[in-house]
Amino acid sequence: MFEKIAHIGVAVKDIKASTKLFRKLFGKAPDHTESLPEYKVHTVMFEIGHSSIELTEATDAESPIARFIEKRGEGVHHVSFVVDDIEKEIARLKQQGFQMIDDKPRLGADNYYVAFLHPKSTNGVLVEISQKKA
C-alpha cells in the first residue's frame, strides 16, 4: 500500500549550483548528501515537511540522469512513494498490469530499497516505490 510521497526527484546538471539555489529557495541547508557510484549519481536531499526534494546529478555521461537531461533538460525526474512492503507492492502492481523497470527491489539512496515503474504504464511519469531498509 502506498503510504506517502517520499520525495520528488529533480535531475540537475550541476549539483553544487543547484544545492545553492535550493538552499536559498528553502532557507535551509540540505539534510542528506550521498554519492551512489553504482548508479553514477550524486544526490542531495532537502526534507520539506513529511517529504523531500532529491537533487540528482550524473557522474557519468552514460547514466540514466545524464540521458534524461540530454533528452528533456533539467527538471522533475521522478516521484517516489513510500510503501509498507515493497516486494508485495511490486507483485500487486505487476498483477494490475503495470510495467516494472525493476522486478526486484534494489538498494537506493538514503538506505531505502527502491523499484521503478516504467513511465509508459503511468502516463509518462517515472514512479519509484521505496521502503526503508530495516
The 10s digit of each residue's pLDDT in 60-86 is 999 999 999 999 999 999 999 999 999
pLDDT number for residue 1: 86
* Set of cell numbers at residue 47: 526534507
pLDDT number for residue 78: 97
Under a CB-based contact definition with an 8 Å cutoff, are residues 55 and 15 in contact? yes
Q: Once rounded to an integer, what is the mean pLDDT over residues 41-55?
A: 96
pTM: predicted TM-score of the whole model, two decimal places: 0.91
The residues facing 35 across adjacent strands are: 42
CA–CA gap between residue 80 and residue 51 (Å, rounded)? 9
Q: Once rounded to an integer, what is the mean pLDDT over residues 19-41?
A: 96
Indicate the class that CATH gives domain 83-134: alpha beta
Question: For the chain, what are the domain ranges?
Answer: 8-79, 83-134
Q: Do 8-79 and 83-134 show the same overall fold?
A: yes
Topology of the domain covering 8-79: 2,3-Dihydroxybiphenyl 1,2-Dioxygenase; domain 1 (3.10.180)
Query: How large a percentage of the chain has pLDDT more than 90?
Result: 96
